Amino acid sequence: MATTELEEHAALHNEAHTASTTTTTTTTATATAATSDTNGFSNGYTHAHGHGHANGHANGVIKKRKSALSLHNPDEPKTGGTKTVRFDSNLPSSFSSSSSLSSYDSGVSVSSFNSSSPSSSSITVSSADGKTITTTTTTSYKKTYVSDDTSSKRQPSVQSWTTLEYIVQCSVLMLVLAHIIVAPYTKVEESFNLQATHDILNFGVTSKGVQQYDHLEFPGVVPRTFVGPLLLAAGSWPLMTIARFFAPDSGLPKGLVGQLIVRSVLGLFTFLGWHQISRGIRHQFGRTVSILFMFVSASQFHWLFYAGRTLPNTFALSIVNVAYSFWMMASPSSQQTVTRRATERSLLRMIDCLVFATVLFRSEVLILMGPIILLELAMTRIGFWTTVLEGIKAGVASVAIAIAVDSWFWQTWMWAEGTVFWFNAVEGKSVAWGVSPWYTYFLVLLPKIAGLALPLALAGTVVEQRLRRYLLPTGVFVALYSFLGHKEWRFVIYVVPLLNLGAAITLAWILKRKTIVYRVLAVALLGAVGLNFISSVAQSAISSLNYPGGQALQRLHELDLHRFAAAATVHIDGAAAETGCSRFGEIGSSVTLPTFSYDAAHNPPFLLHKPWTYSKDESHRHRRDYLHYTHLLTSQPEFHKDDFVVLEQVNGYAGIQRVPISQIREVCPRAVKGLVSSISTAVSSPRESVTSLWVACSPLQVKTEGRVWIMRRVGAME
């Protein structure tokens, strides 16, 4: 990562050196420096050259440091009138070097030379019209290097963080965790990684333990990698240990607690990816754009809701965001220059991240990586063979990790994501899940997941030309991926961070305008982002109703576990298994329930002597096939009504319905009056109070209906 001039001055000031340098500048005319950064694609490199005799280096004089000569043009505005020219300051006894900076400051060239005396040197800066600045540097060998750090006192380092930035970052993290708490259960698409994480934590990774894993009984359509669950289990284990401390006899925290821990750790990983890309944005586009980027991102439902969901795309997105950060760090900013070596190093790290995400988690990242690398090769910011060699190294390492991990857990030679790629892309079997038109991503799915960020990002390509570098490859990625018939929004979720960047750039540009029209526009757009956030909250609340299976399993334990003395066997049908039932919700043998899992006043913890077992057997066809179960979680209660009794019905989301205005006029005032009169109850139960007020006053109501029924076999309690 490139360091700023201010940081280098501070570093030099704080370290002990063997030379002291004083500089005298004689100005014969004012040098004019015009920055050349057309098209936003200028490399912006600052080349440094230095040569010296061996005896100068032997004296140990200020090695591996750079100094800077700042040229200020009084005709330029204060915000952009300082240009920085860097050169090596190894300060040997004599040296002669020159470098042309026409690619950075047009019309200005710099040459440096030493006099015959080893204690003095001079710098001459010549502009295109013949005017010069001559700087003479006298060096005497002492124990301390003294530098003028007044510039660092005038303004803070660009690496420092403001209070507002900390507040924004922490707020986004809290939103991620809040979405996990509101909807703690998972669906079938997330089941593999969640079950695998549970099994790693519960059974260990020994050969004997792997034999008890869920995936060997229910392998799914295609195999999935265990790299993600292994990392997730490693991150969750310390918190699991802390949770066990509060319930020492529980083994692992059961039910909702363990699942919340694992999903929260994944949510933290996802947030760190977004935090990392915000750092890259801060480097490239400034503090304001970085804050607005997180502000826009915090208003979007999909990535917040899925940040803690164990989809392969969620793991891949975190790594892709880190890759985006390296991509942005490879370019110079208004306050920092980047050497070619630093640029190449950042781009190589970007390639490593993209290859890692492709090989281990989602093969479609390869389609995103291709246009990005081709663009960088066209800009000559990285060499062809350097790119090829780095890709080979990263690919071989990633494949080796994948095969080693997957083969162990699948008990056969396996590269899981390679198998998925062959199934979807080569054999084309993904069409079995549906086919959508070519334009679906552009006209339906991207507007759905990006919202207001999409049109603002398109406007951003007009006001900020550098943005085109980032949006062009993503546009090519979506266009190429559109040729695959089966389409889902999560396949192109990697585009959303860069669309949010474009939206943040547009908002920052509008906020800088001082006319009344732009101020009104800024208020309107920020208000629209706020409304988008409210919509996101509503969608999260509604989406929490899509997991009746998980709620039913939790409710079954609350109803019968504390009073059912016999050994219980529970059958979970397909509808329940696909809507939230997981191994984290199952109760094992000889387990003391954690007091924080249930209402301790009604269901105190106790020693469970009889084990509870669970089955997802899908081969049952007749009523008699279910008679050996004590409990059922089923979506077909009528089929079992002669042998089982219904304990409870669990409702799920069934759509949105409109409410007549006349009904709202009649019911809403009474609800508001009742809420005001019982304010103490409203404070103690805010969720129930808000829900009742919404039901009474909203013109749109969420419709629910029975999805899963909890049933007990007749005579099972006897």
Span 99-145, pLDDT tens digits: 333 333 333 333 333 333 444 444 454 444 555 554 444 444 333 33
Greater pLDDT, 100 or 299: 299
Bridge partners (DSSP) of residue 124 are 111, 134
Backbone φ and ψ of 708, nearest 5°: -135, 140
Report which DSSP code applies to 548.
H
Instruction: Mark 98-114 as b/e (b = at least 16 C-beta within 10 Å).
Output: ebebeebbeebbbebeb
pLDDT tens-place string over residues 349-375: 999 999 999 999 999 999 999 999 999
Residue 391 has pLDDT above 60, yes or no: yes
Query: How does the average pLDDT of the chain come out, rounded?
Result: 78
Distance from C-alpha of 92 to C-alpha of 633, rounded to nearest angstrom: 81
Distance from C-alpha of 61 to C-alpha of 93, rounded to nearest angstrom: 10
Question: Which residue, among 243, 232, 234, has the nearest Cα to 270 in the 3D structure?
Answer: 232
Mean pLDDT, rounded, for 54-67 = 38
Report which DSSP code applies to 594.
P
31-35, 311-315, 433-437: least confident range: 31-35
- pLDDT band of residue 17 (cuts 50, 70, 90) is very low
CB 115 within 8 A of CB 124: no
pLDDT tens-place string over residues 445-475: 999 999 999 999 999 999 999 999 999 999 9
Mean pLDDT, rounded, for 146-171 = 63
What per-residue confidence (pLDDT) applies to 716? 82
Question: Which residue, among 14, 107, 125, has the nearest Cα to 68 in the 3D structure?
Answer: 125
Greater pLDDT, 183 or 22: 183
3-17, 221-235, 393-407, 520-534: least confident range: 3-17
Give me the residue label for tokens 């490399």.
43
Q: Where are the alpha helices (DSSP H) in 161-286?
A: 163-182, 191-203, 207-210, 227-246, 256-285
What are the strands, taking DSSP E only, across 41-192? Answer: 66-72, 82-88, 96-100, 105-106, 108-114, 120-127, 132-140
Q: Is 479 exposed, middle or buried (0-12, 13-18, 19+ CB in 10 A)?
A: middle
β-sheet with 132-140: strand ranges across: 20-27, 132-140, 120-127, 108-114, 96-100
**Highest mean pLDDT out of 362-366, 618-622, 696-700:** 362-366
Distance from C-alpha of 17 to C-alpha of 60, rounded to nearest angstrom: 8
Element (H, E) at 713: strand 700-713
Residue 515 has pLDDT above 50, yes or no: yes
**What percentage of the chain has pLDDT greater than the value 70?**
71
CB 178 within 8 A of CB 264: no
Element (H, E) at 614: strand 612-615
Residue 345 has pLDDT above 70, yes or no: yes
Residue 35 has pLDDT above 80, yes or no: no
Name residues whose C-beta falls within 8 Å of residue 14's C-beta, 6 or more positions apart in sequence: none
Mean pLDDT, rounded, for 334-343 = 80
Cβ neighbours of 695 (radius 10 Å): 14
What per-residue confidence (pLDDT) applies to 683? 61
For residue 435, the one-letter residue type is V
What per-residue confidence (pLDDT) applies to 350? 97
**What percentage of the chain has pLDDT greater than the value 90?**
53
Greater pLDDT, 158 or 384: 384
- pLDDT band of residue 76 (cuts 50, 70, 90) is very low
What per-residue confidence (pLDDT) applies to 680? 65
Residue 604 has pLDDT above 60, yes or no: no
Greater pLDDT, 698 or 274: 274
Mean pLDDT, rounded, for 683-698 = 73
Distance from C-alpha of 118 to C-alpha of 163, rounded to nearest angstrom: 49
What per-residue confidence (pLDDT) applies to 231? 96
Backbone φ and ψ of 256, nearest 5°: -65, -35
Distance from C-alpha of 176 to C-alpha of 436, rounded to nearest angstrom: 31
Backbone φ and ψ of 192, nearest 5°: -60, -55
Mean pLDDT, rounded, for 502-516 = 94
Side-chain-side CA neighbours of 300 within 13 Å: the count stands at: 25
Residue 20 has pLDDT above 80, yes or no: no
CB 73 within 8 A of CB 85: no
What per-residue confidence (pLDDT) applies to 562? 78
What per-residue confidence (pLDDT) applies to 186? 92
What per-residue confidence (pLDDT) applies to 102? 33
Distance from C-alpha of 87 to C-alpha of 52, rounded to nearest angstrom: 13
Mean pLDDT, rounded, for 185-201 = 93
Question: What is the pTM for the complete model shown?
Answer: 0.75
Angle between helices 312-329 and 467-481 (to 10 degrees): 150
CB 188 within 8 A of CB 572: no
Distance from C-alpha of 501 to C-alpha of 50, rounded to nearest angstrom: 39
Question: Which residue, among 550, 540, 531, has the nearest Cα to 304 in the 3D structure?
Answer: 540
**Highest mean pLDDT out of 318-322, 665-669, 681-685:** 318-322
What per-residue confidence (pLDDT) applies to 356? 97
What per-residue confidence (pLDDT) applies to 324? 98
Tokens of 289: 């754009």
Q: Is 662 exposed, middle or buried (0-12, 13-18, 19+ CB in 10 A)?
A: exposed
DSSP collapsed to 3 states, 495-529: HHHHHHHHHHHHHHHHHHCCCHHHHHHHHHHHHHH
What per-residue confidence (pLDDT) applies to 610? 66
What per-residue confidence (pLDDT) applies to 45? 40
What per-residue confidence (pLDDT) applies to 22? 41
Element (H, E) at 570: strand 568-572
CB 61 within 8 A of CB 172: no
